[in-house]
Amino acid sequence: MKKWVALFVAVLIIGTIFSGTLAEIKERGKLIIGTEPTFPPFEYVNEKNEIVGFDIDIAQKIADELGVELEIVNLPFDSLIPALMSDKIDLIVAGMTITEERAKVIDFSIPYFNANQAIVVRGNEGFMPATLEDLKGKRVAVQLGTTGDLVVSDIKEIMVTRFQKFTDAFLELQNKRVDAVVLDEAVANAYVKTFPKFVVSAIIDTGEKYGIGVKKGNTELLEFVNTVVSNLFKSPYDLLVEKWFEETK
What CATH number is attached to the domain comprising 28? Answer: 3.40.190.10
| Whole-structure pTM value | 0.77
The reported pLDDT for the residue numbered 15 is 40
| Residues 39 and 100 grouped into a single domain | yes
| Residues 15 and 104 grouped into a single domain | yes
- Using pLDDT thresholds of 50, 70 and 90, give the confidence band for residue 233: confident
| Residues 129 and 217 grouped into a single domain | no
Report cis status (omega within 30 of 0) of the bond before 196. no
As a whole number of angstroms, the distance between CA 131 and CA 65 comes to 43
Q: What is the pLDDT of residues 65-87, one digit of tens each?
A: 999 999 999 999 999 999 999 99
As a whole number of angstroms, the distance between CA 134 and CA 140 comes to 11
* pLDDT above 90 as % of the chain: 75
Q: Is the pLDDT of residue 245 over 70?
A: yes
Mean pLDDT for the stretch of residues 218-236: 90
Q: What is the pLDDT of residues 163-213, one digit of tens each?
A: 988 889 999 999 999 999 999 998 999 889 888 899 999 999 999 999 999
| Residues 96 and 129 grouped into a single domain | no
The reported pLDDT for the residue numbered 95 is 94
Q: Please give the DSSP secondary-structure letter assigned to residue 97.
A: B
The reported pLDDT for the residue numbered 160 is 97
The reported pLDDT for the residue numbered 235 is 66
| Residues 150 and 204 grouped into a single domain | yes
As a whole number of angstroms, the distance between CA 143 and CA 167 comes to 9
Tell me if 220 sits within 8 A of 22, measured CB to CB: yes
- 149: closest CA among 167, 138, 135, 163? 163
| Residues 8 and 73 grouped into a single domain | yes
Q: What is the pLDDT of residues 117-161, one digit of tens each?
A: 999 999 989 999 999 999 999 999 999 988 999 999 999 999 999
Mean pLDDT over each residue of the chain, to the nearest integer: 89
The reported pLDDT for the residue numbered 247 is 58
| Residues 14 and 105 grouped into a single domain | yes
Sequence length of the chain is 249
| Residues 7 and 85 grouped into a single domain | yes
Tell me if 121 sits within 8 A of 100, measured CB to CB: no
- Using pLDDT thresholds of 50, 70 and 90, give the confidence band for residue 4: very low
| Residues 121 and 193 grouped into a single domain | yes
The reported pLDDT for the residue numbered 131 is 96
Which uninterrupted H or E stretch holds 83?
helix 80-85
| Residues 99 and 215 grouped into a single domain | yes
The reported pLDDT for the residue numbered 195 is 87
**C-alpha to C-alpha distances, 10 to 3, 4, 5, 7, 15, nearest whole angstrom:** 10, 10, 9, 5, 8
89 or 15, greater pLDDT: 89
The reported pLDDT for the residue numbered 236 is 66
- 211: closest CA among 87, 30, 76, 84? 84
- Using pLDDT thresholds of 50, 70 and 90, give the confidence band for residue 19: low
Query: Could you give the number of structural domains in the chain?
Result: 2
| Residues 23 and 88 grouped into a single domain | yes
| Residues 121 and 108 grouped into a single domain | no
The reported pLDDT for the residue numbered 248 is 54
Range of the domain at 77: 2-112+211-248
Q: What is the crossing angle of helices 54-66 and 236-245, to 10°?
A: 150
